[in-house]
Amino acid sequence: MAETKPVDRPLSPHLQIYKPMLTMMMSIVHRATGMALYAGMILLVWWLCAAAASDDAFATAQWIFSSWLGLLVLLGFTWALIHHALGGLRYLYWDTGRGFELSRVELMAKANLAGSIILTILVWIIAYMVHA
Ligand code: HEM
């Protein structure tokens, strides 16, 4: 039987070797927010079902969503949705074959992050103004 010699093939660098960069983190966050949106959508459907079911069911859902924990979850959901949607627009722009210069990639990542925070705050201010 022929002997197999170990071959020194180049190894793929492990994730820990990479220096974390904004663009890399944004890519991970895009996937994470996408997954968080699944959970958020389940809550949205539950809220709609409660509204359709009965006054009691809706009152319970409203009570849960207006608790501090519920509000925190809703705040996170708003941010995840906006962050993910802005990220989606970034991908759409790339799909046109533009925006691949390093400086533009960095700028769009920062705009995505800052935009998601600013828009989340705006949405909540408007929601509170409408609610008051
Ligand atoms: C509740 C609604 C949504 C859910 C549950 C969701 C979920 C996800 C998930 C889990 C991923 C990651 C897929 C992967 O990396 O394998 C993803 C990717 C993506 N999402 Fe969403 N998403 C939602 C809304 C949106 C919206 C509104 C946009 C655009 C405005 C969008 C644009 C994208 C794009 C472009 C990707 C692919 C990014 C890539 O190529 O890596 N999504 N989505």
pLDDT tens track for 64-106: 999 999 999 999 999 999 999 999 999 999 999 999 999 999 9
Q: Where are the domains of the chain?
A: 26-131
Q: According to the model, what pLDDT value does residue 131 have?
A: 85
Q: According to the model, what pLDDT value does residue 3 have?
A: 72
Q: Strand ranges (DSSP E) for the chain?
A: none
Instruction: Collect all residues with Cβ–Cβ distance below 8 Å to 116 and sequence separation of at least 6.
Output: 79, 82, 83, 86
Instruction: Collect all residues with Cβ–Cβ distance below 8 Å to 4 and sequence separation of at least 6.
Output: none
The closest residue, in CA terms, to atom 36 on ligand 1 is 88
CA of 32 to the centre of ligand 1 (A): 10
Question: Which listed CATH number (3.30.930.10, 1.20.1300.10, 3.40.50.300, 1.10.530.10) goes with 26-131?
Answer: 1.20.1300.10
**Atom number, ligand 1, closest to the C-alpha of residue 35:** 10
Are 106 and 22 spatial neighbours (Cβ–Cβ below 8 Å)? Answer: yes
The closest residue, in CA terms, to atom 37 on ligand 1 is 88
**Mean pLDDT for the chain overall:** 94
Tell if the pTM clears 0.85, that is, is over it: yes
Q: Is the CB of 31 under 6 A from ligand 1?
A: yes
CA of 34 to the centre of ligand 1 (A): 5
Q: Is the CB of 84 under 6 A from ligand 1?
A: yes
CA dist 65 and 49 (Å) reads: 14
